């Protein structure tokens, strides 16, 4: 020992002019009862116990002991109270397991009287160390800590008494994430260094749900959030779905204000999530050259997850341990992944929240929204992100319009769809009618003044013009110039899709001004003539259209080379009019898979369009429909609802 230190000292003297090697601890990975956990490098607290007390309970080599902190008013604490706490934790949290009962620290608001019945129950949990905070009739060492510990699982360092938070590690087996992240004490984030061995996937760490309590100030406390990799998160790189881009730029200095709002409300960023390249539309598999498209967990697991918020969509569809995805929607990039991955998803009213420090596609149409499995969380997250920019309402609209509905019921998906629409009509006390906005346009003075007899004449080229010209100018050209400057004039690799779009934008004579003009004409017409504002209901009417009718879209099919995204459909209404278009998962229906050669279930979803600023109305409607059992919060995984249950009820 002494000899080694002497040598080290001599070496330091001899090479005094050489900089010291820097050693940075990045935490440790451990296994508790077969489950992987991450222990960060920095403790959150420390217990007033040391090696002298712990060596009698710990075996040699036990440097970390799994610990459970229990807080509450435990004036009498007996076996029944212990068992009840344990079952509360097991129900509420996926990080806690009975393996953490090896050490227990009981923090009672009044002096706890420990009952003799505890002894055998504790032994049953393999408990080696039981500590209490307040004086009691126990002979077990009372302890103190440097900062308050919240209920939940931790790791206790046997030699120092330091206490570390426990992160459960999950494998991102569907490829929804680019990397896991962990918050540092200074407000920056680091890439999660832990890795579950042998699963060929990134590893994501999630903290215990027991640490967090939702409050008015922190309505998202403990909500596990994945962020599309076009938003800046301080201390991590932003990749935007392109390898050259990820490589070129350093870690971001700040967190995008939209993300920061969610963090301030208590959300926990667990990772950055995949986007198709530069948030352009890409189909699995041929379009995704730089990275592999995430997998859609629904059905046979081999359907396209859609894009561009593919990562948030696939992750929310697949992982029960992930609560919320922050995506962006310019031309369907939240709505389409939400539909096919079986989740709620919103394209909000344009301009509700700033998109500073976010990669632009077209600032005239870019929006920030969510993908999630729960309508209540969806509403809360919306209130946090859009705040006072949401318009109020006092009752639900009485007018329901439809567009693009199936004519006849020819499949189970159609039945599921119409069953929901029927219940919605009853709920709102109204009957839906078809909105023939194409004919209304053809008869409008605007159709005459623009010489565009159909909306397709007016708008088919508007979307590719706005995204192509704006993204190339604001983002593409500076990126290419930076890359060429750093690589002796070499051009960065671009996936076929953004390449086609950027090339078209540079060569086609159509001007940005013409696109803006056409968009403005449509927006003014739609918002004054079709779905109008209303003082009482915010939106005079709601427009419904089918999001998906359980149509398979297998990812192992070769597709045509990409073209510019020209065309016109009802899904472009919200893009051009700047209005909310929100996806509700309403059921599932069977299809025969060409992959599993078995019947599988895919999502059925409906889209709801409202007047500008009326997002809160649709959030509220979705929550009330969920509370009334008209729709159900979907589960993650292959099937959204456990069919055995409904079959038994029928
Ligand atoms: C603590 O006191 C209670 C009630 O006085 C008694 O039942 C219990 O056995 C005591 N526990 C221990 C560990 O001495
Ligand atoms: C966060 O990380 C960025 C990028 O590395 C750096 O510029 C900034 O100084 C860091 N902030 C803190 C508080 O460490
Ligand atoms: C409302 O939107 C504007 C424009 O995007 C933004 O600057 C402002 O911060 C938003 N307000 C709230 C409360 O989010
Ligand atoms: C719908 O059903 C009606 C009545 O059976 C039939 O006349 C009509 O052709 C069907 N329409 C379509 C689009 O299948
Ligand atoms: C909706 O239509 C049904 C069937 O035609 C009718 O019985 C009901 O009164 C209508 N409801 C409303 C609110 O108009
Ligand atoms: C519409 O067509 C008329 C006749 O061809 C032409 O004079 C006019 O300039 C056109 N207007 C627009 C806005 O293109
Ligand atoms: C704008 O609308 C006109 C018809 O009025 C159409 O010919 C033109 O292609 C449109 N351009 C764009 C960029 O939307
Ligand atoms: C612009 O692109 C559209 C769609 O590919 C094409 O129809 C049109 O001819 C092009 N116009 C010009 C002026 O290049
Ligand atoms: C799947 O195939 C079987 C056998 O051909 C058929 O009976 C069944 O209706 C099909 N299911 C669906 C959802 O198409």
pLDDT averaged over 10-residue windows placed end to end, the chain, 650 residues: 35 50 89 96 85 67 89 91 97 98 91 88 92 66 69 93 96 98 94 91 97 98 98 98 98 98 98 98 93 98 98 98 98 98 98 98 98 98 97 98 97 98 98 98 98 98 98 98 98 98 97 98 98 98 98 94 97 98 98 98 98 98 98 98 53
Atom 2 of ligand 9, residue of closest alpha carbon = 592
Neighbours of 59 (CB within 10 A): 9
Count of C-beta atoms within a 10 Å radius of residue 607: 25
What confidence score (pLDDT) does residue 51 get? 63
- Name residues contacting ligand 9 (CB within 6 A): 590-592, 599
User: Which pair of tokens denotes residue 182?
Assistant: 């962990």
Q: Rounded to 5 degrees, what are φ and ψ at 210?
A: -70, -20
Last residue of a domain, which of 141, 165, 189? 165
Q: In the structure encoding, which two tokens stand for residue 503, read together? A: 């090339």
Ligand nearest the Cα atom of residue 415: 9
What is the DSSP track for 564-615? ------GGGHHHHHT--EEEEEEEEEEEE-TTTSSEEEEEEEEEEE-STTTH
Among 456, 459, 460, 461, the mutation site with the greatest number of ligand 8 atoms within 8 A of its Cβ is 461
Atom number, ligand 4, closest to the C-alpha of residue 407: 13
Q: Say if CB 394 and CB 534 are below 8 A apart.
A: no
Residues near ligand 6 (Cβ within 6 A): 450-451
Smallest CA separation from ligand 2 atom 11, residue = 188
Q: Which pLDDT does position 459 carry in this prediction?
A: 98
- Supply the pLDDT for residue 49: 72
Q: Assess if residue 516 is contained within a domain.
A: no
Q: Is 557 inside any structural domain?
A: yes
Confidence at residue 111, expressed as pLDDT on a 0 to 100 scale: 84
What the block records as the tokens of 620 is 């509220």
The protein residue with its alpha carbon nearest to ligand 2, atom 6, reads: 253
Q: Which ligand is nearest the CA of 188, by number?
A: 2
Distance CA 602, CA 304 (A): 12
Same domain membership, residue 227 and residue 132: no
Between the CA of 483 and the centroid of ligand 9 the distance, in Å, is 53
Relative to the CA of 449, which ligand 6 atom is closest? 13
pLDDT per residue over 68-108, tens digit each? 999 999 888 999 999 999 999 999 999 999 999 999 999 88
Q: Which atom of ligand 4 is nearest to the CA of 408?
A: 1
Contact between 262 and 381 under an 8 Å Cβ cutoff? The reply is yes
Nearest CA to ligand 6 atom 1: 451
**DSSP code for 367:** E
Whose CA is closest to atom 1 on ligand 2? 235
Distant-in-sequence, close-in-space partners of 319: CB < 8 Å, separation ≥ 6: 170, 174, 176, 636
- Which residues contact residue 175 at a Cβ distance below 8 angstroms, ignoring those fewer than 6 apart? 201, 274, 292, 293, 294, 295, 314
Q: What is the predicted pLDDT for the residue at 10?
A: 37
Ligand nearest to the CA of 509: 8
Do 25 and 77 lie in a common domain?
yes
Q: For ligand 5, say whether the CB of 431 is within 6 Å of any of its atoms.
A: yes
User: Could you give the number of structural domains in the chain?
Assistant: 2
Q: Are residues 297 and 158 in the same domain?
A: no
For 365-460, list the strands marked E by DSSP.
Answer: 367-372, 399-402, 432-434
Cβ–ligand 8 distance for 503 under 6 Å, the answer: no
| Residue 14 in domain | yes
Q: How far is the CA of 189 from the centre of ligand 2 (A)?
A: 9
Residue nearest to atom 8 of ligand 6 (CA): 451
CA-nearest residue, atom 13 of ligand 4? 407
Q: Is the same domain home to 545 and 621?
A: yes
Q: On the CB side of 428, how many CA atoms lie within 13 Å of its CA?
A: 24
Distances in Å between the alpha carbon of 475 and those of 245, 253, 366?
11, 18, 14
**Claim to verify: residue 128 and residue 214 sit in the same structural domain:** no
**Angle (deg, nearest 10), helices 462-471 and 496-507:** 100
User: Looking at the domain assignment, is residue 142 inside a domain?
Assistant: yes
CB 474 within 8 Å of CB 358: no
- CB neighbourhood size of 123 (10 A): 10
Q: Are residues 219 and 149 in the same domain?
A: no
User: 190 and 83 share a domain?
Assistant: no
The closest residue, in CA terms, to atom 10 on ligand 5 is 431
268 ligand 7 Cβ < 6 A = no
Do 330 and 276 lie in one domain? The reply is: yes
Cα 555 to Cα 314: distance, rounded to the nearest angstrom: 14
Residues 307 and 398 in one domain: yes
Three-state SS at 178:
strand
Q: pLDDT tens digits for 116-139?
A: 899 999 999 999 888 888 666 655
Mutation choice for ligand 4 from 407, 414, 418, 434, CB with most ligand atoms inside 8 A: 407
Q: Which atom of ligand 2 is nearest to the CA of 186?
A: 13
Examine residue 453 and state whether it is found in any structural domain, yes or no. no
Element containing residue 256 per DSSP (H, E): none
d(CA 448, CA 461): 19
Q: Which helix (H) or strand (E) holds 36?
A: strand 35-39
Pair 232, 154 in one domain: no
114 lines ligand 1 (CB under 6 A): yes
Q: Is the CB of 351 under 6 A from ligand 3?
A: yes
81 in a structural domain = yes
Residue 503 falls inside a structural domain: no
Residue with tokens 């994430």: 177
Q: For residue 179, give Cα distances in angstroms to 235, 260, 278, 332.
A: 13, 19, 17, 24
Domain of residue 44, residue span: 3-165
Task: Tell me which residue has tokens 């099937």.
Answer: 639
Counting ligands in written order, the one closest to the CA of 588 is 9
157 and 223 part of one domain: no
Residue that is last in its domain, among 165, 184, 217? 165
Q: Give the residue from 110, 140, 165 where a domain finishes.
A: 165
Ramachandran area for residue 457 (φ above 0: left; ψ -120 to 50: alpha; else beta): alpha
Q: CB–CB of 562/498 below 8 Å?
A: no
Atom of ligand 6 nearest to the CA of 450: 13
Task: Tell me, yes or no, whether 416 and 334 share the same domain.
Answer: yes
What secondary structure does DSSP assign to 410-425, as a single string? -SHHHHHHHHHHHHHH
268 lines ligand 3 (CB under 6 A): no
Write down the pTM of the prediction: 0.94
Reference 614, options 393, 369, 337, 411; nearest CA is 393
Relative to the alpha carbon of 398, which ligand is closest?
5
Contact of 365 with 350, CB cutoff 8 Å? yes
Atom number, ligand 5, closest to the C-alpha of residue 430: 13
CATH label of the domain that carries residue 329: 3.90.1300.10
Distance of alpha carbon 31 from the chain centroid = 27
615/379 Cα distance (integer angstroms): 9
Characterize the bridge pairing of strands 152-157 and 113-114. unpaired
Radius of gyration of the chain (CA): 28
In a domain, 305, yes or no: yes
User: If you average pLDDT over every residue of the chain, what do you get?
Assistant: 93
| Helix 615-627 / helix 375-386 crossing angle, nearest 10 deg | 160
Whichever domain contains 53, its CATH number is 3.50.30
User: 640 in helix, strand or coil?
Assistant: coil
369 CA from centroid of ligand 7 (Å): 29
186 lines ligand 2 (CB under 6 A): yes
8 Å CB contact between 328 and 368:
yes
Q: Which residue's CA is minimally distant from atom 3 of ligand 9?
A: 592
């Amino acid at each position: 020992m002494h000899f080694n230190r002497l040598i080290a000292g001599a070496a330091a003297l001899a090479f005094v002019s050489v900089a010291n090697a820097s050693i940075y601890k990045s935490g440790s990975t451990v296994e508790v009862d077969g489950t992987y956990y991450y222990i960060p490098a920095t403790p959150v607290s420390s217990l007033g116990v040391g090696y002298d007390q712990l060596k009698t309970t710990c075996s040699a080599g036990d440097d970390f002991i799994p610990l459970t902190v229990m807080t509450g008013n435990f004036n009498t604490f007996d076996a029944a109270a212990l068992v009840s706490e344990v079952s509360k934790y097991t129900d509420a949290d996926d990080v806690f397991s009975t393996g953490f009962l090896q050490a227990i620290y009981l923090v009672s608001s009044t002096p706890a009287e420990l009952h003799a019945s505890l002894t055998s129950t504790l032994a049953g949990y393999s408990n080696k160390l039981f500590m209490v905070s307040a004086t009691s009739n126990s002979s077990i060492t009372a302890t103190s800590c440097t900062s308050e510990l919240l209920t939940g699982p931790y790791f206790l360092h046997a030699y120092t008494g330091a206490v570390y938070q426990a992160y459960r590690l999950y494998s991102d087996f569907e490829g929804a994430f680019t990397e896991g992240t962990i918050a540092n004490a200074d407000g920056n984030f680091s890439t999660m260094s832990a890795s579950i061995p042998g699963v060929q996937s990134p590893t994501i760490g999630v903290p215990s749900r027991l640490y967090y309590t939702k409050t008015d100030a922190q309505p998202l406390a403990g909500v596990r959030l994945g962020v599309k990799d076009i938003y800046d998160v301080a201390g991590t790189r932003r990749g935007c779905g392109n390898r050259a881009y990820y490589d070129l730029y350093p870690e971001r200095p700040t967190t995008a204000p939209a993300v920061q709002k969610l963090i301030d409300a208590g959300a926990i960023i667990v990772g950055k999530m995949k986007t198709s390249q530069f948030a352009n539309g890409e189909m699995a598999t041929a379009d995704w050259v730089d990275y592999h498209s995430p997998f859609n967990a629904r059905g046979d697991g081999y359907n396209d997850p859609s894009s561009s918020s593919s990562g948030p969509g696939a992750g929310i569809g697949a992982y029960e341990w992930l609560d919320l995805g922050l995506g962006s929607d310019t031309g369907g990039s939240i709505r389409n992944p939400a539909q096919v991955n079986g989740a709620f998803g919103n394209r909000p009213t344009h301009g509700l929240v700033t998109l500073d420090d976010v990669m632009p596609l077209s600032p005239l149409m870019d929006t920030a929204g969510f993908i999630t499995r729960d309508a209540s969380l969806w509403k809360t997250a919306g209130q946090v992100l859009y705040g006072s920019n949401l318009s109020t309402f006092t009752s639900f609209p009485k007018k329901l319009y439809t567009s693009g509905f199936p004519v006849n019921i020819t499949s189970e998906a159609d039945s599921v769809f119409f069953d929901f629409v029927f219940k919605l009509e009853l709920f709102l006390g109204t009957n839906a009618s078809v909105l023939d906005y194409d004919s209304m346009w053809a008869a409008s003075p605007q159709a005459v003044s623009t010489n565009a007899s159909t909306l397709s004449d007016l708008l088919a080229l508007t979307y590719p013009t706005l995204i192509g010209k704006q993204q190339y100018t604001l983002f593409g050209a500076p990126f290419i110039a930076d890359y060429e400057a750093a690589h002796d004039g070499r051009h960065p690799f671009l996936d076929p899709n953004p390449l086609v779009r950027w090339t078209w934008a540079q060569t086609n004579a159509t001007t940005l001004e013409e696109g803006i003009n056409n968009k403005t004409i449509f927006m003014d017409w739609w918002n004054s003539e079709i779905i109008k504002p209303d003082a009482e209901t915010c939106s005079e009417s709601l427009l419904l259209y089918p999001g998906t009718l359980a149509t398979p879209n297998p990812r192992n099919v070769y597709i045509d080379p990409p073209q510019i995204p020209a065309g016109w459909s009802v899904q472009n209404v919200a893009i051009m009019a700047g209005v909310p278009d929100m996806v509700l998962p309403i059921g599932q229906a069977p299809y025969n898979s060409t992959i599993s050669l078995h019947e599988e279930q895919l999502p059925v979803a409906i889209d709801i369009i409202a007047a500008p600023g009326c997002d809160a109305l649709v959030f509220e409607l979705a929550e009330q429909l969920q509370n009334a059992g008209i729709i159900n919060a979907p589960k993650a995984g292959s099937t959204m609802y456990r069919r055995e249950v409904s079959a038994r009820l029928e």
